[in-house]
């Protein structure tokens, strides 16, 4: 069944981006209805949104088109989710104060749907403590408040206050889930590490980081506070996820160790190098005739170190095995004091690195829990998070 999404547009410059948002949601198969405040109509015409959504746009509370039903109530019931984009300081203040003096604010008061707020405004307005207080209050009340982006603002300055691009807003809406992980702090590691040989060369591996990013994305969509420690560069950081980039295994260890105590769950999807060059040459190594051997030394075993320091956290590791998968997973669980091991099937058709799908088996201390079929990395992420939830309950 198609998802019912209401896109609400208020009076800000970023209103032009909402046309693309509606178009993207429609293309993804959602049914979309649009509400515009009177002031939003100064920035973009209802005709554009009506054409893109394929449904009459509501702009007034008491329109001549009034039907037998009370429209703000019937729309409130129809919606599965709502996004106010852009959300002006004005509408944020009105919702936070319980004001219902136009169609949008009355509809918001009446709906039980998940409401996402994408604030967009001048950086000084965004930094205003009253606005920030209102956003914090709304987040506390269960509204999904998105952080504004940094960047160039329509008023000619640069700062924090930009509405995120339509693509990432549409992606957020399509990923919206029940907030069943709210209150949890989850740290996810992703991607490869790079071990410097000299100033221009490094040792690395084929990990793309997509599995870790999918876990971070699904955990954030399910309400967790997510910190992503990423060796992968250039992937889109999912909504609501804080990212810290690292290069080497040692930097990965430092970042993970620094943040470990504050977490409820740590999911280590990164492919961390087991060895690094014993020395990083200060200058570029010149080629010479004949063979050359590079001396390597062990990097720190991060999973084992976390297993030792563990203080109530759920610890999830990944294992990339080509043989004796079940035995090796059990060994790893015991040796590293982990709670779950996700064994990647490296023999799967087309491989695993860089793909959007994965085939894994999940193990806990009692053995195999689930052998999953080939699934999207996001579906695999949800399965892992479901198992984490079971562990947390126990």
Ligand X SMILES: Cc1cc2nc3c(=O)[nH]c(=O)nc-3n(C[C@H](O)[C@H](O)[C@H](O)COP(=O)(O)O)c2cc1C
Contact residues for ligand X, defined by CB under 6 A: 10-14, 37, 39-40, 86, 88-91, 120-121, 125
Q: Which residue, 87 or 273, is less far from ligand X as judged by CB? A: 87
Q: Which residues contact 102 (CB under 8 A, 6 or more apart)?
A: 37, 38, 60, 61
In whole angstroms, how close is the CB of 161 to ligand X at the nearest point?
7
Query: What is the distance of C-alpha 155 from the center of its chain?
Result: 29
Give the angle 55-40-177 at the CA atoms, nearest 5°: 60
Q: Which residue, 120 or 362, is less far from ligand X as judged by CB? A: 120
- The answer to whether the CB of 14 falls within 8 A of the CB of 149 is no
Name the nearest CA neighbour of 245 among 191, 303, 186, 195. 191
Active site residues: 155
Q: What span, in angstroms and rounded, lies between the C-alpha atoms of 109 and 214?
A: 33
DSSP state of 14: T
In whole angstroms, how close is the CB of 278 to ligand X at the nearest point?
55
Q: Which residues contact 354 (CB under 8 A, 6 or more apart)?
A: 206, 208, 210
- The structure tokens 């429209």 sit at 71
- The answer to whether the CB of 299 falls within 8 A of the CB of 275 is yes
In whole angstroms, how close is the CB of 36 to ligand X at the nearest point?
8
Q: Which residue, 118 or 246, is less far from ligand X as judged by CB? A: 118
Query: What is the distance of C-alpha 291 from the center of its chain?
Result: 46
- The answer to whether the CB of 164 falls within 8 A of the CB of 72 is no
Q: Which residue, 90 or 337, is less far from ligand X as judged by CB? A: 90
In whole angstroms, how close is the CB of 376 to ligand X at the nearest point?
36
Q: Which residue, 83 or 215, is less far from ligand X as judged by CB? A: 83
């Amino acid at each position: 069944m198609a998802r019912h999404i209401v896109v609400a547009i208020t009076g800000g410059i970023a209103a032009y981006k909402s046309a693309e948002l509606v178009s993207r949601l429609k293309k993804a198969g959602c049914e979309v209805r649009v509400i515009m405040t009177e002031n939003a109509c100064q920035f973009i015409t209802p005709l554009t949104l009506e054409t893109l959504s394929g449904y009459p746009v509501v702009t007034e509370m008491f329109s001549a088109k009034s039907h037998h039903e009370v429209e703000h109530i019937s729309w409130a019931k129809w919606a599965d989710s709502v996004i106010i984009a852009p959300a002006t300081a004005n509408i944020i203040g009105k919702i936070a104060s319980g004001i219902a003096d136009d169609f949008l604010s009355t509809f918001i008061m009446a709906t039980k749907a998940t409401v996402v707020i994408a604030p967009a405004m001048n950086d000084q307005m965004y930094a205003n403590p009253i606005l920030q207080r209102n956003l914090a209050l709304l987040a506390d009340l269960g509204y999904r408040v998105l952080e504004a982006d940094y960047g160039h603002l329509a008023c000619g300055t640069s700062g924090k206050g930009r509405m995120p691009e339509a693509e990432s807003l549409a992606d957020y809406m399509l990923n919206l889930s029940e907030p069943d992980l709210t209150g949890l702090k989850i740290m996810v590691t992703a991607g490869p590490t790079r071990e410097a040989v000299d100033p221009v060369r490094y040792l690395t591996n084929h990990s793309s980081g997509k599995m870790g990013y999918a876990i971070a994305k699904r955990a954030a969509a399910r309400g967790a506070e997510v910190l992503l420690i990423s060796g992968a560069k250039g992937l889109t950081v999912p909504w609501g996820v804080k990212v810290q980039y690292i290069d080497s295994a040692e930097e990965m260890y430092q970042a993970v160790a620094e943040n470990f105590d504050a977490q409820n769950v740590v999911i280590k999807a990164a492919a961390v190098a087991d060895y690094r060059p014993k020395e990083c040459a200060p200058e570029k190594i010149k080629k010479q005739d004949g063979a050359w051997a590079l001396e390597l030394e062990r990097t720190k075993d991060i999973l084992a170190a976390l297993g030792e320091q563990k203080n109530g956290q759920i610890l999830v590791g990944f294992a990339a095995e080509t043989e004796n998968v079940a035995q090796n997973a059990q060994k790893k669980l015991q040796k590293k004091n982990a709670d779950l091991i996700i064994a990647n099937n490296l023999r799967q058709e087309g491989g695993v690195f860089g793909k959007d799908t994965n085939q894994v088996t999940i193990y806990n201390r009692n053995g195999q829990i689930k052998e999953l079929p080939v699934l999207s990395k996001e579906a695999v992420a949800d399965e892992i998070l479901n198992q984490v939830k079971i562990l947390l309950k126990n």
